[in-house]
Amino acid sequence: MSFSLKKFLPHLFVLLGFVILSLAYFSPVLKGKKIYQSDIMHYIGMAQQQKEFAKSTGEETYWTNSAFGGMPTYQLGAKYPHNYIKKLDLTLRFLPRPADYLFLYFLGFYILLLCLKVDFRLAALGALAFGFSTYLIIILGVGHNSKAHAIAYMPLVLAGIVLTFRKQYILGFLLTTIALGLEIVANHFQMTYYLLLLVLVLGIAYLIDAYKKKLLPHFFKSVGILGVAAIISVGLNATNFLATQEYVKESTRGKSELTINPDGSPKEVSTGLSNEYITEYSYGIWETFNLYIPKFMGGGNREDVGKESAIYRAYVNLGASPIEALEASREAPMYWGDQPIVEAPAYVGAVIIFLFVLGLFLVRGRLKWWLVGGTILSLLLSYGKNLDFLTNFFIDYVPLYNKFRAVSSIQVILELCIPILGVFALVRLFNDFQKNEEKLKYLKYTVIITAGLCLVFLLFKSTLFDFEGLRDDRYAQAYGEPFVDALVKDRKALFTSDTLRTLIFVLLSAGTVLLYIKEKLSEKLVIIVFAILLLFDSVSVNREYVNNDNFKPARLVDKPYQLNAADKEILQDKSHFRVLDMSSQGQSQPGRAAYFHNSLFGYHAAKLGRYNELLDFHVYRNNMNVLNMLNTKYIIIEEQGQLLPYTNKETNGNAWFISGFESVKSANEEIKALDSLDTKTKAVVQTSIIETNNFRNNFLVDSIASIQLKEFRPNYLKYESNNSNDGFAVFSEIYYQPGWISSIDGKEVPHQRVNYVLRGMFIPKGNHIIEFKFEPQVVKTGSNIALASSAILGILLILGVFYEYKRSKTDA
> Is residue 281 a contact partner of residue 321, using CB atoms and an 8 Å limit?
no
- Residues 483, 487, 488, 492, Cα dihedral to 10°: 150
CA distance linking residue 112 with residue 172, whole number of Å: 12
Q: What is the DSSP letter of 264?
A: S
**Confidence (pLDDT) at 2:** 43
CA 200 from centre of chain = 22
Cα dist from 450 to 208, 293, 322, 458, whole Å: 31, 11, 41, 13
Task: Concatenate the DSSP letters of all residues of 432-480 into one string.
Answer: SSS-HHHHHHHHHHHHHHHHHHHHHHHHHHHHH-----TTHHHHHHHH-
**Confidence (pLDDT) at 349:** 96
pTM for this structure? 0.91
- Residues 213, 218, 219, 225, Cα dihedral to 10°: -170
CA distance linking residue 601 with residue 762, whole number of Å: 30
| Separation of first and last alpha carbons in the chain | 10
CA 23 from centre of chain = 24
Cα dist from 22 to 103, 330, 415, 450, 551, whole Å: 6, 27, 19, 30, 15
CA distance linking residue 68 with residue 62, whole number of Å: 15
> Is residue 382 a contact partner of residue 410, using CB atoms and an 8 Å limit?
yes
Sort strands 766-774 and 758-763 into parallel, antiparallel or unpaired: unpaired
Q: Is 535 exposed, middle or buried (0-12, 13-18, 19+ CB in 10 A)?
A: middle
Residue positions counted in the chain: 812
- Asked if omega into 98 is within 30° of 0 (cis), the reply is yes
Sort strands 660-664 and 682-686 into parallel, antiparallel or unpaired: parallel
Q: Is 467 exposed, middle or buried (0-12, 13-18, 19+ CB in 10 A)?
A: buried
- CB-based contacts of 328-331 (< 8 A; 24+ apart in sequence): 329/304, 329/305, 330/302, 330/304, 330/305, 330/306, 331/302, 331/303, 331/304
**Confidence (pLDDT) at 270:** 65
CA distance linking residue 812 with residue 807, whole number of Å: 8
Mean pLDDT of the chain: 93
CA distance linking residue 37 with residue 44, whole number of Å: 10
Q: Which residues of the chain have pLDDT under 50?
A: 1-3
CA distance linking residue 563 with residue 375, whole number of Å: 49
> Is residue 247 a contact partner of residue 736, using CB atoms and an 8 Å limit?
no
Cα dist from 158 to 149, 162, 194, 216, 650, whole Å: 15, 6, 13, 20, 59
What are phi and psi for residue 61, nearest 5 degrees?
-100, 140
Identify residue 682 by its one-letter amino acid code: K
CA-only gyration radius of the chain, Å? 30
**Confidence (pLDDT) at 202:** 97
Sort strands 758-763 and 63-64 into parallel, antiparallel or unpaired: unpaired
**Confidence (pLDDT) at 704:** 87
Sort strands 766-774 and 716-723 into parallel, antiparallel or unpaired: antiparallel
Which residues, listed in sequence order, are joined to residue 646 by a DSSP beta bridge? 635
Helix (H) or strand (E) holding 198: helix 189-212
Task: Concatenate the DSSP letters of all residues of 699-758 into one string.
Answer: ----TT-EEEEEEEETTEEEEEEEESS-EEEEEEEE--TTTEEEEETTEE---EEETTTE
3-class state of residue 767 by DSSP: strand
**Confidence (pLDDT) at 587:** 86
> Is residue 61 a contact partner of residue 608, using CB atoms and an 8 Å limit?
no
